[in-house]
């Protein structure tokens, strides 16, 4: 799928050319500029936007307000998660439009990203002037000019100028960096519980299932968060590893680091997850209620990215998803979207959803069971990047609607948690690692 240089897209509202991240096999998540429907709704200008973070408080969505205080979502959410999960999580837009709550969040993201980029560009301009590589005026040294200048410089000049840019950008996000590390620790524990719970659902005999589960757990145990600030210490004398990391980071996070992306990969025996600064920023915008909410927002993303270490395209694990894939194709009568070219992302989504459900279980085990209202508020925070209103699937990514209405809604644990009932318009089976599983209250569930 194509990706964008995020802030250029924000400034122009036009999709940019594809970046080379997809060539590396690290599929970038949809970023802001790729939803034409959304871009067309956003106001221009760099200042505060009505409905953004600077807007005055107003009446809140009733079920969220019952639990929290925070910015107004001003959104007519569906009250029936079972029959309208997309409307319950994203809100109910007018036909052909993007849910207003998502527009508000994107506007806040745009405003913050532009402010951070402005400070970073100013820091880079000082160094470019000092090194004598920028003859233009200060006003002409824009983000576009910075991105165009970098490829023309020597390696040492790039290190100095881009280093100044990165330090200024990261200074605004340092707390989010620490919170992301905390979220990863929590998600690794939840992933371990999910693998243990799903082990009996894996195909083959006991020995085969043990091999699958052991390999998955090893990836979870080994994975580490690596940021631009920690990369040099992480790789040490491994110059090739550091160079590969830096190239992957640029490909997926963008030269400005502000793409709304994350990725995971292996380098030798080491397992690495990278959360782009833009993803951290986006999670902070999507999180209405502080750092706990920020961690919630990242849980599904981190579970999904770790899941890529043993997704359907990894030869050792491809067989683990064959029954799920067959079921998903049959389910197309109810949720029509071809799955075959997108099984890499869909199989990673299985683990992202399992992380959410394991979190619900962990809360209950700690004596803090959550209500349906709380669970729905949690899902809204975790899944906002599925609400962009773009109903055209990407080459490798299914639509957000499919991921909510099929992959999330028909997870048996979610179906049961919200006490959903089967009717003639609902797919009678859920797709799991065991294949087709009849839903509670389905025609053949008893």
- Residues ≥6 apart with Cβ < 8 Å to 186: 295, 299
Taking the domains of the chain in order of start, what are their residue ranges? 33-173
Beta bridge partners of 430: 437
Q: Check residue 221 and give its pLDDT.
A: 95
Structure tokens at 147: 């991105």
Longest CA span, the chain: 76
Long-range contacts made by residues 139-143, C-beta under 8 angstroms, separation at least 24? 143/7, 143/8, 143/11, 143/117, 143/256
Q: Check residue 191 and give its pLDDT.
A: 96
pLDDT, tens digit (0-9, with 9 covering 90-100), for 23-67: 233 323 223 223 333 333 333 333 222 222 222 222 223 332 332
pLDDT, tens digit (0-9, with 9 covering 90-100), for 75-100: 577 888 888 898 898 887 666 666 66
Centre a 10 Å sphere on the Cβ of residue 436 and count the other Cβ atoms it contains. Answer: 17
180 sits in which H/E element: helix 174-198
């195909």: which residue's tokens?
Answer: 203
Q: Check residue 214 and give its pLDDT.
A: 95
Q: Check residue 393 and give its pLDDT.
A: 66
Q: Check residue 271 and give its pLDDT.
A: 93
Q: Check residue 262 and give its pLDDT.
A: 93
pTM, entire model? 0.76
What is the rounded average pLDDT of the residues 182-208?
93
pLDDT, tens digit (0-9, with 9 covering 90-100), for 157-170: 988 998 899 889 88
> CA of 242: how far to CAs of 124, 223, 237, 262, 382, in Å?
22, 16, 9, 17, 31
């Amino acid at each position: 799928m194509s990706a964008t240089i995020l802030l250029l897209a924000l400034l122009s509202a036009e999709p940019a050319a594809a970046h080379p991240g997809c060539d590396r096999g690290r599929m970038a998540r949809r970023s802001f500029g790729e939803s034409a429907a959304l871009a067309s709704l956003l106001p221009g200008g760099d200042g505060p936007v009505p409905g953004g973070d600077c807007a005055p408080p107003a009446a809140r969505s009733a079920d969220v307000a019952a639990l929290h205080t925070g910015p107004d979502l001003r959104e007519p959410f569906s009250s029936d998660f079972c029959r309208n999960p997309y409307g319950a999580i994203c809100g109910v837009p007018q036909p052909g439009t993007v849910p207003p709550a998502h527009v508000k969040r994107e506007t806040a993201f745009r405003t913050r990203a532009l402010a951070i980029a402005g400070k970073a560009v100013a820091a880079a301009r000082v160094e470019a002037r000092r090194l004598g590589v920028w003859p233009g005026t200060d006003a002409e040294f824009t983000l576009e000019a910075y991105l165009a200048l970098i490829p023309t410089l020597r390696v040492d000049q790039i290190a100095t100028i881009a280093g100044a840019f990165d330090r200024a950008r990261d200074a605004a996000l340092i707390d989010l960096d620490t919170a992301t590390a905390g979220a990863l620790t929590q998600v690794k524990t939840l992933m371990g519980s999910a693998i243990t719970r799903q082990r009996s659902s894996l195909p083959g005999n006991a020995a085969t299932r043990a091999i699958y589960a052991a390999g998955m757990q090893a990836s979870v145990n080994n994975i580490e968060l690596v940021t631009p600030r920690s990369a040099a210490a992480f790789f040490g004398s491994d110059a090739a590893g550091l160079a590969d990391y830096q190239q992957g980071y640029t490909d997926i996070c963008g030269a400005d680091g502000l793409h709304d992306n994350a990725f995971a990969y292996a380098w030798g025996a080491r397992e690495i997850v990278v959360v782009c600064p833009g993803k951290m920023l986006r999670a902070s915008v999507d999180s209405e209620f502080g750092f706990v909410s920020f961690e919630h927002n990242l849980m599904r993303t981190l579970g999904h990215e770790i899941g890529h270490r043993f997704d359907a395209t990894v030869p050792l694990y491809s067989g683990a998803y064959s029954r799920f894939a067959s079921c998903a194709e049959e389910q197309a009568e109810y949720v029509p979207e071809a799955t075959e070219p997108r099984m890499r992302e869909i199989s990673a989504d299985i683990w992202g959803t399992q992380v959410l459900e394991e979190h619900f279980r962990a809360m209950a085990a700690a004596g803090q069971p959550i209500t349906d209202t709380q669970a729905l508020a949690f899902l809204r925070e975790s899944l906002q990047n599925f609400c962009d209103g773009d109903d055209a699937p990407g080459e490798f990514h299914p639509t957000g609607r499919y991921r909510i209405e099929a992959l999330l809604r028909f997870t048996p644990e979610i179906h049961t948690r919200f006490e959903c009932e089967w009717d003639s318009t609902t797919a009678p089976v859920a797709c799991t690692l065991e294949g087709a599983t009849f839903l509670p209250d389905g025609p053949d569930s008893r």
